[in-house]
């Protein structure tokens, strides 16, 4: 019995101590939670560290001449650690006054006394990450690095700064929507979005510590992984042409109180977009770039589509441009719908070609309907062969989808074919229409519009964007040769004769479209609404540029394409022509020949040039006797022969050379050559000095 009591006593004793131990633990937990909770939470926050991203400097976007279209401006947040170990003793006392004076002079927002009071309070409160100033410019930061105390750096002087990048467009509204933006939680727009991977670079990593107030302070810089800056992109945009197009469109939109409009100017052979403008009228009546209409707005093009109908009929051999068509007195009924011509009283009997020149709705529609009424799908198939049903696939997001109806569509009716032939019941964007007309200017070769020519890293080209061919030949050369004179006639004596230029020819087509409203159809409570357009190319005899102008909803009772869109086209064409020396270079050469007593030579082989000039007893000055290729400069009494360097791996400059020499040089460089015209080389499609890439093709234009 005694033994049993002894065992129980021992068990009770152990149980007591266990309960006491448990109660102690519970009491300690309660004490920590409710009494010392704030203390330990603050301590935990102060000891929390994690790796955080360092944003890379975003690449720049340049115009073709190197002008900045978009760049990142560094903005800094400056903070101070007044309690770092190195600031104990005399360092603080001897320099705090000077530091406060410098801060006051730099920012001019507080007196030196106020700064001193603020910094002393931060030191006494144990601050390790005190805010000095936000949105500090780089020039200000550079000065702060030399301030007393700060000059000792982050760990000896407590000087801490964090960089942020602010995106800016130096030219503001110029091509703003095409340049676009790339922001967090917002769908990227324009080139900023299309090339976001190349532009944004690679983020770095920094070890940060969480301190009081929820702020994060960078720790030892030795732990940082530096970010890699983004690449730069070189666009095809010419800022001078862009400015001309912007101003011309703006003035015309204001004149006609239009809702919105767009302009695109493109280089014929390469597809390089030299200017793209999109302007919308705001509630206050001012115009600005809000939406990229040229790329995204797919509408019924109207009369500019007639060219596609004419080409289709010519290709099938169903109609010729000399065939007659009776347009009557300007009114014709297809089933239950009446079609009218804009000319009061009609055009009477005209040829199919003249119907395009004077933009006769009835002339085009009757000819197409008669040719294809038994097999309308053949008309559609021919349009498809010209790639009109396909999106261009440009890199900028938001391209509007083209609509070319099929006979199997539920909406197809007896009037679809005649109305399609004049640009209704189809939909295309301005850029898609321009690409089609550009193909005509390019002898049938359809190229994809291009907005970027190169991607660079620290000035070195890492990728060159080549011209992409959509369709090598949208139609036969015979058809091209038939329609080109018709487009010239539109300007010479047709619907756009007000655009006729004195020194060069313009070819193109006007368009005046009645806009359909989703709710009211082609008529709204305010009456009819129209879209005016003109699309074409210049100089007509040797096309260099193509251009489209579209003005939507002009509201001052003037809405015809030649009167609203045409003047914009002409102003742009006049100024571009005046500033494009290569377009009329031949006239300058003729003047030199007429005024020079010494024969003018082409650039080429130095050995051959020296031999010829010596044979003609012409005095020459040779820059280098061992050079293979040379450039000649003809003076009044002698010829200077200068070195033309051909660098292996780079595209050579062959302008001014004979075709034979140029082809020899280029093919030795591994470049396939295409030639257009006769005479001396006046331009080359790939700029000299660019790196040669496998498969490069170059177009040489001769004077």
Q: Measure the CA–CA gap between 144 and 150, rounded to whole angstroms.
A: 7
> Average pLDDT for residues 163-185, to the nearest whole number?
86
CATH 2.60.40.10 assigned to domain 583-702? The reply is no
- Class of residue 650 by CB neighbours under 10 A (exposed 0-12, middle 13-18, buried 19+): middle
Q: Which residues contact 17 (CB under 8 A, 6 or more apart)?
A: none
Per-residue model confidence (pLDDT) at position 592: 45
> What would the pLDDT profile of 523-573 be if each residue is shown by its tens digit?
444 445 789 999 999 999 999 999 999 999 777 676 777 788 999 999 999
| Closest to 541 in 3D by CA, of 571, 511, 584 | 584
> Average pLDDT for residues 624-651, to the nearest whole number?
71
Pick the residue with more confidence: 678 or 625?
Answer: 678
Please say if the pLDDT value at position 586 is more than 50: no
3-state secondary structure 262-275: EEEEEECCCCEEEE
Torsion sign over Cα 242, 246, 249, 252: negative
CA distances from 360 to 235, 334, 565 (A): 40, 15, 19
157: three-class secondary structure by DSSP? helix
Per-residue model confidence (pLDDT) at position 612: 74
CATH 3.40.710.10 assigned to domain 240-579? The reply is yes
Pick the residue with more confidence: 26 or 372?
Answer: 372
Per-residue model confidence (pLDDT) at position 440: 97
Fold category of 52-232 in CATH: Penicillin-binding protein 2a (Domain 2) (3.90.1310)
> What would the pLDDT profile of 291-335 be if each residue is shown by its tens digit?
999 999 999 999 999 999 999 999 999 999 999 999 999 899 998
In which band, very low, low, confident or very high, does the pLDDT at 203 lie, cut at 50, 70 and 90?
confident
List helix spans (H) across 190-340. 190-194, 196-200, 239-256, 293-296, 306-316
Q: Measure the CA–CA gap between 697 and 693, rounded to whole angstroms.
A: 9
Quote the tokens at residue 269. 């052979």
Q: Measure the CA–CA gap between 534 and 301, rounded to whole angstroms.
A: 10
Quote the tokens at residue 249. 């469109």
> What would the pLDDT profile of 501-532 be if each residue is shown by its tens digit?
878 899 999 998 877 644 334 444 444 578 99
Per-residue burial over 328-346, b if 16 or more Cβ lie within 10 Å, else e, is eebebebeeeebebeeeeb
Cis peptide before 631 (omega within 30 of 0): no
Question: CA dihedral defined by 441, 442, 445, 450, rounded to 10 degrees?
Answer: -100
> What would the pLDDT profile of 350-364 be if each residue is shown by its tens digit?
999 999 999 999 999
Q: Measure the CA–CA gap between 175 and 186, rounded to whole angstroms.
A: 20
Please say if the pLDDT value at position 392 is more than 90: yes
Q: 0.75 exceeded by the pTM?
A: no
Please say if the pLDDT value at position 593 is more than 60: no
Degrees (nearest 5) of the Cα angle 245, 247, 250? 105
81: three-class secondary structure by DSSP? coil
DSSP bridge partners of 267 = 545
> What would the pLDDT profile of 648-674 be if each residue is shown by its tens digit?
777 888 787 777 777 777 877 788 888
Per-residue model confidence (pLDDT) at position 333: 92
Per-residue model confidence (pLDDT) at position 361: 95
């Amino acid at each position: 019995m005694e033994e049993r009591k002894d065992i129980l006593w021992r068990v009770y004793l152990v149980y007591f101590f266990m309960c006491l131990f448990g109660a102690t633990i519970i009491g300690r937990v309660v004490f920590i939670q409710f009494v010392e909770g704030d203390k330990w939470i603050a301590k935990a926050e102060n000891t929390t560290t994690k790796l955080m991203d360092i944003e890379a400097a975003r690449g720049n976007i340049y115009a073709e001449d190197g002008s900045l279209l978009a760049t990142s401006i560094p903005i800094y947040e400056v903070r101070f650690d007044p309690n770092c170990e190195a600031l104990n003793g005399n360092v603080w006392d001897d320099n705090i006054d000077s530091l406060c004076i410098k801060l006051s002079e730099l920012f001019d927002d507080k007196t030196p006394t106020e700064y001193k009071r603020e910094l002393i309070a931060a030191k006494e409160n144990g601050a390790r990450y005190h805010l000095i100033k936000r949105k500090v410019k780089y020039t200000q930061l550079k000065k702060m690095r030399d301030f007393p105390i700060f000059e000792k750096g982050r760990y000896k002087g407590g000087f801490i700064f964090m960089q942020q990048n602010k995106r800016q467009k130096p030219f503001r509204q110029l091509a703003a929507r095409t340049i676009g933006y790339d922001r967090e939680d917002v769908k990227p727009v324009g080139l900023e979005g299309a090339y976001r991977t190349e532009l944004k670079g690679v983020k770095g990593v920094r070890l940060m510590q969480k301190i009081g107030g929820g702020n994060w302070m960078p720790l030892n810089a030795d732990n940082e992984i530096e970010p890699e800056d983004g690449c730069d992109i070189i666009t095809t945009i010419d800022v001078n042409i862009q400015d001309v197009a912007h101003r011309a469109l703006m003035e015309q939109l204001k004149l006609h109180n239009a809702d919105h409009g767009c302009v695109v100017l493109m280089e014929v052979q390469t597809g390089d977009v030299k200017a793209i403008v999109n302007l919308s009228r705001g509630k206050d009546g001012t115009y600005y770039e809000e939406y990229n209409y040229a790329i995204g707005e797919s509408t019924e093009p109207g009369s500019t589509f007639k060219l596609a109908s004419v080409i289709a009929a010519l290709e099938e051999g169903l109609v010729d441009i000399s065939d007659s068509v009776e347009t009557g007195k300007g009114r014709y009924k297809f089933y239950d719908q009446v079609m009218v011509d804009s000319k009061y009283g009609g055009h009477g009997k005209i040829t199919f070609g003249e119907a395009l020149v004077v933009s006769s709705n009835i002339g085009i529609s009757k000819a197409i309907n008669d040719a294809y009424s038994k097999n309308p799908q053949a008309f559609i198939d021919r349009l498809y062969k010209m790639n009109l049903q396909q999106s261009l696939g440009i890199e900028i997001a938001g391209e509007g989808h083209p609509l070319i109806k099929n006979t199997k569509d539920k909406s197809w009716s007896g009037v679809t074919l005649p109305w399609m032939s004049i640009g209704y019941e189809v939909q295309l964007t301005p850029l898609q229409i321009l690409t089609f007309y550009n193909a005509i200017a390019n002898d049938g070769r359809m190229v994809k519009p291009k907005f970027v020519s190169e991607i660079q890293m620290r000035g070195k080209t890492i990728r060159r964007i080549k011209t992409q061919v959509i369709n090598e030949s949208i139609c036969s050369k015979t058809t091209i040769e038939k329609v080109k004179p018709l487009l010239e006639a539109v300007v010479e004596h047709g619907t756009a004769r007000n655009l006729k230029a004195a020194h060069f020819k313009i070819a193109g087509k006007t368009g005046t479209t009645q806009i359909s409203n989703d709710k009211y159809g082609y008529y709204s409570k305010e009456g009819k609404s129209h879209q005016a357009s003109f699309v074409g190319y210049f100089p007509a005899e040797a096309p260099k540029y193509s251009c489209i102008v579209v003005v939507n909803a002009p509201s001052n009772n003037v809405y015809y394409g030649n009167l609203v869109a045409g003047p914009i086209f002409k102003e742009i064409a006049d100024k571009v022509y005046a500033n494009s020396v290569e377009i009329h270079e031949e006239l300058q050469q003729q003047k030199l020949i007429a005024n020079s007593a010494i024969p003018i030579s082409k650039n080429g082989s130095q050995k051959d040039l020296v031999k010829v000039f010596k044979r003609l007893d012409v005095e020459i000055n040779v820059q280098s006797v061992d050079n293979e290729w040379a450039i000649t400069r003809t003076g009044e009494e002698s010829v200077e022969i200068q070195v033309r360097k051909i660098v292996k791996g780079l595209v050579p400059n062959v302008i001014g050379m004979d075709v034979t020499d140029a082809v020899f040089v280029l093919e030795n460089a591994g470049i396939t050559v295409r030639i257009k015209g006769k005479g001396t080389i006046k331009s080359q499609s790939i700029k000299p000095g660019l790196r040669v890439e496998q498969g490069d093709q170059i177009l040489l234009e001769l004077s």
